[in-house]
Amino acid sequence: MTITEKIMAYNSGRDFVVPGELVWVDVNSVMTMDYLGKQCFKAFESLSSTKKLFDKTKVVCVSDHLVPPPSEQWATMLNEWRAIVKSYDIPNFYDLGRQGIAHQIMVEQGHVLPGKISIGTDSHANTYGAIGAVGNAIGVTDAAIAMATGKCWFRVPETVKFVIKGTWQPWVMAKDLSLHIMGMMHWNGHLIYKTLEYTGPAIEALDIAGRMTLCNMTVDLGAKNGIIAPDKKTESYLKNRTTDKWDFISSDANAKYDAVYEVDVTNVGPKVSKPDKLDDVMPVEALVGTKFNKAFVGTCTNGRTEDFAIMAQILKDKKIHRDVNMICIPASTDIYLECLQKGYIEILVKAGASFETSSCGPCAGIHTGVAGDGDIILSAGNRNMKGRMGSKNAQIYLTSPAVVAASSIKAEITDPRSENW
């Protein structure tokens, strides 16, 4: 079996499963957030006569879309959300000032474990595969059922394996590999509801932050989940985050795959996805000189310490062009503090960047830096469809934090390999 098949088998009390089967699995954790949380609990109460959660320590509530509230209406929604969470005495509530973007919180705070299944009411729950878990987005009704029973149903997905070999080149990040695969596979329907399993020496070389980026964007390829087998780096990352037991699980040598692709990362350079179509990916050198007026780095895709470290290396003692407004959003309060302690925030603020509260605000086009008519944005987020960050008359180029930082100096897309930073 593949790693995903094994996890679904073990968590459904079975020895073996095959793609296409329907399974009823135990979930390790259920996440919901401010934007859909009220609906989740309303659905839960309609399903459960006792109104008793299966395990309140396994239900994780996060405020990440509406904070800080940009309007009276949303402030009221947040107050209602907080009252609901308080009424259920849920201990794992991450609210404004001590929170982060849900998917970062889930992994960072030990709510996701290798070999287990965690679900959440947001599309980028695929992120959890970075530490060897099955992470998947579900709707309000499925979340409510899981909150009541501790279980969720799945159709076992077929698995597509990506063997990533070679050596990472300077200024090339996991985001570039993700965009490379996006451009290689395109939206042809082949990956819909598939597991994308990443393996190979170049994956082993990636830190957990890079693995989170890679798994995070598998949903944007149409995949059911993305996953990387846990290893010593996973063990080290989780050491002080959880005391729960977990196992090293990996695919069998004779596991069957729907398809297998090889990518030599030695030949992968910085990439940029052109506006409105995520799979319209170009090498950065093809777009050098393209002007833009806004820059954004953050989100559950590229808002980690390692991302801001790269940016600080490039922008140390430099200035962001006066025509560029740069917004940076660390993915969690802990990341913000770590970047503060390491001096990255000071370097970036001195360069001209603005730091905002951990939230999904601008990435989702909600608040704290939405796009206006005519804006051209260079973003290290995860989506660039028309209207994603606000105005439908704005353009979004999607790329890595390294490209965003290097490009912000001249207000035009720049190859970070062109300078000795």
**Would you give the DSSP letter of residue 144?**
H
Confidence category of residue 50, pLDDT binned at 50, 70, 90: confident
Which is more confidently placed, 49 or 355?
Answer: 355
Domain 272-418 in the same topology as domain 3-263: yes
Confidence category of residue 399, pLDDT binned at 50, 70, 90: very high
Contact by Cβ (8 Å): 377, 294:
yes
Tens of pLDDT along 149-164? Answer: 999 999 999 999 999 9
Buried b / exposed e over 28-58, threshold 16 CB at 10 Å, is bbbbbbbbbbbbbbebbeeebeeeebbeeeb
Tens of pLDDT along 244-266? Answer: 999 899 999 999 999 999 999 99
Task: State the DSSP H helix or E strand holding residue 12, giving kind and residue range, or none if neither.
Answer: none
Buried b / exposed e over 388-417, threshold 16 CB at 10 Å, is bbbbeebbbbbbbbbbbbbbbbebbbbbbb
Measured distance CA(104)–CA(303) in Å, rounded = 9
In 10 A of CB 255, how many CB atoms? 16
Confidence category of residue 379, pLDDT binned at 50, 70, 90: very high
Q: What is the mean pLDDT of residues 222-237?
A: 97
Q: Where are the domains of the chain?
A: 3-263, 272-418
Buried b / exposed e over 208-238, threshold 16 CB at 10 Å, is bbbbbbbbbbbbbbbbbbbbbbbbebbeebb
Burial status of residue 86 (CB atoms within 10 A of its CB: 0-12, 13-18, 19 or more) = exposed
Contact by Cβ (8 Å): 180, 268:
yes
Burial status of residue 97 (CB atoms within 10 A of its CB: 0-12, 13-18, 19 or more) = exposed
- What percent of the chain has a predicted confidence (pLDDT) above 70? 100
Measured distance CA(96)–CA(241) in Å, rounded = 21
Residue 58 has pLDDT above 80, yes or no: yes
Contact by Cβ (8 Å): 331, 337:
no
Residue 224 has pLDDT above 80, yes or no: yes
For the chain, give the mean pLDDT. 96
Residue 48: per-residue pLDDT: 75
CATH code matching the domain that covers 3-263, chosen among 3.20.20.140, 3.30.70.1560, 3.30.499.10, 3.40.640.10: 3.30.499.10
Dihedral over Cα of 311, 220, 234, 25: its sign: positive
Residue 138's SS3 state is coil
Taking the model in full, what pTM does it have? 0.97
Going by C-beta distance under 8 Å and a sequence separation of 6 or more, which residues neighbour residue 230? 114, 115, 131, 132, 246, 248, 249, 250
Closest to 121 (Cα-Cα) out of 49, 182, 57, 43: 43
Measured in whole angstroms, how far is the alpha carbon of residue 212 from the centre of its chain?
6
Q: What is the mean pLDDT of residues 97-110?
A: 96
Measured distance CA(382)–CA(216) in Å, rounded = 8
Measured distance CA(225)–CA(192) in Å, rounded = 10
CATH code at 272-418: 3.30.499.10
CA atoms within 13 A on the CB side of 192: 4
Rg (alpha carbons) of the chain, rounded to whole number? 21
Residue 261: per-residue pLDDT: 97
Residue 189: per-residue pLDDT: 82
Confidence category of residue 49, pLDDT binned at 50, 70, 90: confident
Pick from 45-49, 69-73, 234-238: least confident: 45-49
Tens of pLDDT along 169-211? Answer: 999 999 999 999 999 998 778 899 999 999 999 999 999 999 9
The type of residue at 22 is L
- What percent of the chain has a predicted confidence (pLDDT) above 90? 96
Task: State the DSSP H helix or E strand holding residue 152, giving kind and residue range, or none if neither.
Answer: strand 151-155
